[in-house]
Amino acid sequence: MRLRTLGALAVEGAGLKREKVLLLLAYLCLEGPQPRRRLADVFWPEAANPMNSLAQHLVHLRTLPGALHEEGSRVEAALPCDAAQMREAARSGQWEQAVALYSGPFLDSLTIPLGADLEEWVFETREALALDMRAALLTLGGQVAARGNTAEAGALAARALMLPAAPPPDEAELPRLYHLLNLSAHPLAAQVERDARSLGVPLDSPAARLVAAAAPFVGRAAELGQLTALPPGSFAWISSPGGMGKTALMDALNRAGGWQLLTGSPEAQAGRPYAMLAPLLPRPVSTPGGALSAFASGRLKVAIDDWDSVDEASREVLTLAARQATSSQPGGAVIVVTSRRHPPFEVRTHLTLGLLSPEDVMQPGLHALTDGHPTLVGAALRGQPLELGQGAKVRALPPELRDTFLLLALQDHPDLRATRAALNLQADAFARILSALTVEGLTSETGRVYAAAAIRQSLSAIYVQSQLLHLRLARALPPETAWPHYAAARDLWEGTDDTRIASVAAARAGALIRRGHPGEARVLLDSLPAWPELAVPHAWALLGAGQYAEAFRRLDALTPPHADAPATLAARATALVRLGRHAEATALAGRVTGTGAEGAQAASVLAHAARIREQWDEARRYSRIAADLWQLNGDEEQHLSELGFVALARVRLGAAPAEAFDALLERARGLPSVRGTMLVNYVQLLLDARQLEAAEAAMREAVRELEVAGDVLGLASVFINLGVSLHLQGHLKEAAGYYKRAIAQLRGTGSIRPLGLALSNLSEIEGDLSAFEDVMEMLERAGQHELVASIRRNAQVVSRFPPSSLQS
């Protein structure tokens, strides 16, 4: 027996007709065990003796064998109910079963009056079940649309839209309804469009614009061709992680015609031997040999989707069939089986499915958006947000797997060791979780999440949870990669994080400075508290950006012991030499001893001061010392950079530019920033030597190297040097063009010194004295007094062209 409540109210196989009695049974079926007192109060709130009324109705229910289970004061229904089965099917994703069970609105045939509480329960349950039905219809519509059947998709969507007892579609349902109706050119699409417009719901999202009328089954042409060409007696196995298109491939075979597609679930087949093979068996069989005879015909083609859903008895028969296929005289049916795992027996044809290639995914930008993951490609083509392609699967994961997945999704290149540390997992447990995520098709074997950007975007909407995940990851990652995650978790920092945050921020700033982005490093460190641990890296960022006075003030504010640290002394000496205070810089650098990085920086300061004084032998000696110390500390880039200054000093002492630089430039290959900067100095020396052709070739090479390195300051330096050279030769229009290119490079870098030099020289050419003075004031405010004095000494307003002729 079963209680029917959808579209009718009756117990199948019984003559019980009393509506109130059946309503009581429906309530127990859907709400679970109930105290007698609650039932009496809900069903007979105004009766003189509610408990007596309940007792009378329970007497009628006891006439149904096994309908009730009573224990003390509690009553429980023990009869199957179509509404309960439909709700469970919908919640477990068995959409077709849910649709088959829904034969009409819940308790729509009731004619008896109801109390307020009971009436509210009936209407709320009716609406909730109708919404479950709409979700099932829309999901099925999306699936048939994915297989290319747009007419059926439109029919399902129309049924969902017009579903009795369901409330009007909401803002999440309207786009899905419109997509399915519009695919099939259904007349109801216009109504949905009007409803969406009146509610302000957009139907033209970026994802929806990727929708194509063709089925989302893309690629797999080679695999499909191989399967359709299998000769009689073949047994093929298709394996892949979840979501890679095994089911879609089976559906495509089915659409090709002539194939028998078998699917099932262990629950539906429980206790039924040969349940999976039942559609092939003309009569009940009791032995594996009897079932195997179903595969005797060479005209039969069978596709079995998901080995794990095959019952044990059918597996035994399929194993026998696979052995026959590998024998010397195979014959009989063609059999294709899919699984998430490799075959447990020998097969001659084994296909493994992976990500789709860019050639498979024809829509522009879709492969980059989805990584070629078939599930995500299908979601995008159906107009769904990408995270929905995996969202339900992720939400169903156990907490440890879900947290691992989300932490991996926050990283473009996952650090597995740090992720494991953030989760506090043992190696074997972490390996099992990674394997499970890979089998589910959520990550690659290296832990990379497919379409991670879409997952991160959806995570960002859960602000605090997202920050907490970033913080856990930041605490576990190495300093050179942790900063973006600390930055994303800023609101959740704790006092115990301060020391590590300072270390991580310093590492991040150092990396930015080495890549030629000191302005970004300055902005990063400006945003943090004035921790003494960050003073030196902050000063180096300011120095790189040309803000020498600010760098000196940052260091000058330190107190012992930080003020007396060798790293601080070396950075202060550098700031002083850049400010033109050479004697103070030399004295301070002389206080730095040792062979560490600070000693190398101090020697570099002494070399710089000697170059300013044009004491080239001393400059060469100190640059050589600095280079040796950088090499001793294992910093090859700094070692070669300093050797570039050794070469410069050698040329000033009489060596030919090529003799000093050629071997060094060859050693610097593969280090584009170092080599580009070295070429900038080389170009200037060639220009001074009037070797114009060689200078031009070296300049072009410098630009290429610095562009590869992304070194904006180096590029700006090239353009300024070329501008100055042309400026001095009287080629004002060409010089102005190079100054403008330098200014374009410097925008947003915060590098005041080179920007001021380019602006002042440009305003000098254009004869704009007002602009010239504005630049001088900006440089004065930035503490660039030495540069201002130098510019004023050399400045000549020599414009021979009207300003308009100099625009480029």
136 with 99: CB under 8 angstroms? Answer: yes
Calculate ∠ Cα 24-27-31, nearest 5°.
Answer: 150
Compute the half-sphere exposure of residue 192: CA atoms within 13 Å on the CB side of its CA.
27
Coil, strand or helix: which one is 729? coil
Please state whether beta strands 334-339 and 10-11 pair in parallel, antiparallel, or not at all (unpaired).
unpaired
Residue-level length of the chain: 808
Of the pLDDT bands very low, low, confident and very high (cuts 50, 70, 90), residue 806 is very low
Alpha helix ranges (H) inside 208-282: 221-228, 246-256, 266-269
Q: Report phi then psi at 346, rounded to 5.
A: -70, 135
Phi-psi region of 424 (alpha: psi -120 to 50; beta: other; left: phi over 0): left
376 with 370: CB under 8 angstroms? Answer: yes
Please state whether beta strands 68-71 and 74-77 pair in parallel, antiparallel, or not at all (unpaired).
antiparallel
453: Cβ contacts below 8 Å, ≥ 6 apart: none
The pair of structure tokens assigned to 607 is 């070399």
User: What's the predicted TM-score (pTM) here?
Assistant: 0.53
447 with 416: CB under 8 angstroms? Answer: yes
CA distance linking residue 362 with residue 252, whole number of Å: 19
Which pLDDT tens digit goes with each residue over 187-202?
898 888 888 888 888 8
CA distance linking residue 773 with residue 781, whole number of Å: 12
111: Cβ contacts below 8 Å, ≥ 6 apart: 19
CA distance linking residue 382 with residue 216, whole number of Å: 7
Q: Is 643 exposed, middle or buried (0-12, 13-18, 19+ CB in 10 A)?
A: buried
Q: Which residues pair with 262 in a beta bridge?
A: 304
HEC secondary structure over 446-471: CCCECCHHHHHHHHHCCHHHHHHHHH
Task: Give me the pLDDT at residue 569, please.
Answer: 94
Residue 232, preceding bond cis, omega within 30 degrees? no
| Higher pLDDT among residues 575 and 795, named by residue | 575
The pair of structure tokens assigned to 378 is 């299908």
Of the pLDDT bands very low, low, confident and very high (cuts 50, 70, 90), residue 759 is confident
Coil, strand or helix: which one is 528? coil
Q: Strands of 68-71's sheet, edge to edge?
A: 34-35, 74-77, 68-71
Compute the half-sphere exposure of residue 86: CA atoms within 13 Å on the CB side of its CA.
31
165 with 106: CB under 8 angstroms? Answer: yes
Task: Look at 142-151, 286-295, 618-627, 736-745 and tell me which has the smallest mean pLDDT.
Answer: 142-151
Among 763, 717, 774, which residue's Cα sits nearest to residue 741? 717
Q: Strands of 260-262's sheet, edge to edge?
A: 260-262, 301-304, 334-339, 235-239, 349-352
Average pLDDT over residues 207-213: 33
643 with 655: CB under 8 angstroms? Answer: no
DSSP class of 805: G
Average pLDDT over residues 24-35: 92
DSSP class of 372: T
Which pLDDT tens digit goes with each residue over 302-356?
999 889 888 888 999 999 999 988 876 667 889 999 999 999 999 989 999 999 8
Please state whether beta strands 349-352 and 235-239 pair in parallel, antiparallel, or not at all (unpaired).
parallel
Question: How far is the CA of 89 from the CAs of 398, 698, 707, in angstroms?
Answer: 21, 73, 59
Which pLDDT tens digit goes with each residue over 443-469?
888 899 887 877 777 766 666 888 899
The pair of structure tokens assigned to 42 is 């809900």
Q: Which residues of 435-454 are buried (b: 16+ CB within 10 A; e: fewer)?
A: ebbbebbbbbeebebbbbeb
Task: Look at 146-150, 428-432, 659-663, 691-695 and tell me which has the smallest mean pLDDT.
Answer: 146-150
Q: Report phi then psi at 239, rounded to 5.
A: -125, 150
Coil, strand or helix: which one is 6? strand
Q: What is the rounded average pLDDT for all residues in the chain?
A: 84
Q: Which amino acid is at 313?
A: A
Task: Give me the pLDDT at residue 48, please.
Answer: 86
